[in-house]
Amino acid sequence: MFSDRPQLAVEVLRDLLGVELPATPLVRVEKSTFNTRPSDDINSDLILVLGPPQTAAHAIILEVQQDKTKDPRQLARYAAALWLMLRCDVTVLLVCPDRGVADHYAQPIDSGLSGYRLQAQVLGPDDIPVITDPQEAVARPALAIMAVMAHGRDRKVVEAFAMALGELRDEHAAKYYEYAYSMSAPDVRRLLEEIIMTSTTWPVYSPFAREHYGRGQAEGEAKGKAEEAVRMLLLVLGARGFDIPDDMRTRISTCADLAQLESWATRAVTAQSVEDLFDETGGQHR
């Protein structure tokens, strides 16, 4: 989500967390692997750089933290290494759906180097607005995604998000559901799945919905082919002048096995009677 729209990280820091950043319309995604000179390579989730390529004005290291497994000192190391590489100020922004995780990383980080303590900027549930108005979700889709992530146990939040997806027409709309689904807790995902499966106004994006939608689509296609095969078989029999008894017509009309119907159609071309279609000597079972 942030890599598709880098300006979003700037808006989060400025508008939601009150961080002062250089005023520039230039925001780009930087390569997320950078060398610590002379240590090993570091891999962060996302790096954004403000300003022109030749003269970086500010850098943002963005991490999405679902739990407390990352050593906070590693974040200080990220910031120091990127400062050495770009020679500009660096902000570390963490997006934490869980309040406890957000509080954990909001504490000043003692890097182990005298005089160097990092204060990461943390976007937690308390900083993300609860969006239950579909029109507000349409106007601020990125915040609506994060509202689902942080407050999705409130059904109205998920319903507003789902309704907004039906109205959105921008280039990122197809990805919004994927973002919300991937960042949400399992119970919120189940609610998203429940709501999306009852919607007919927008495409299906979640793994659950794709599976069931695809299965239903395939079953529908198979049924349509079988119905067409039944129609063609009855047309062939009628064209040959056969009088089809009701029980045989029912047997043909209720058959959903496309291979069986095709076999009967092949026989219908040369059969001397309708009974020959079901003759065991022709390889078919009565």
User: Is the same domain home to 123 and 11?
Assistant: yes
Q: Using alpha carbons only, what angle is made at residue 154 by residues 189 and 184, rounded to the nearest 5 degrees?
A: 30
Which of 205, 235, 258 delimits the end of a domain? 205
User: Is the same domain home to 88 and 141?
Assistant: no
Residue 274 Rama label (left phi>0; alpha psi -120 to 50; beta):
alpha
Q: Rounded to an integer, what distance in angstroms lies between the CA atom of residue 176 and that of residue 82?
A: 30
Find the radius of gyration of the CA atoms of the chain.
30
Provide the 3-class DSSP secondary structure of residue 64. strand
Interacting residues of 90 by C-beta distance below 8 A, sequence separation 6+: 58, 59, 60, 61, 79, 82, 83
Which of 172, 205, 238 delimits the end of a domain? 205
Show pLDDT as tens, one digit a residue, over the chain (286 residues).
Answer: 888 888 888 888 888 888 888 888 888 888 777 665 555 556 788 899 999 888 899 999 999 888 899 999 999 989 998 998 888 999 999 999 889 999 999 999 988 878 889 999 999 999 999 999 999 998 888 899 999 988 999 999 998 998 888 777 656 666 788 888 888 888 888 888 888 766 645 554 545 455 555 555 556 667 778 888 888 888 888 888 888 888 888 888 888 888 888 888 888 888 888 788 777 554 444 4
Which of 178, 205, 232 delimits the end of a domain? 205
In a domain, 1, yes or no: no
Q: At what angle do helices 173-183 and 186-197 cross, to 10 degrees?
A: 140
Nearest-10 Cα torsion for 241, 243, 247, 251:
0
User: Is the same domain home to 107 and 165?
Assistant: no
In a domain, 49, yes or no: yes
Is-contact 121 13, C-beta < 8 A? yes
- pTM exceeding the 0.85 threshold for the entire prediction: no
User: Is the same domain home to 217 and 198?
Assistant: no
Which phi and psi (to 5°) does residue 235 adopt? -65, -40
Write out the residue range of the structural domain in which residue 12 sits: 7-127
Task: Work out how many domains the chain is built from and give that number.
Answer: 3
In a domain, 47, yes or no: yes
- Hey, what are 26's tokens? 């230039």
User: Is the same domain home to 52 and 150?
Assistant: no
In a domain, 2, yes or no: no
User: Is the same domain home to 191 and 272?
Assistant: no
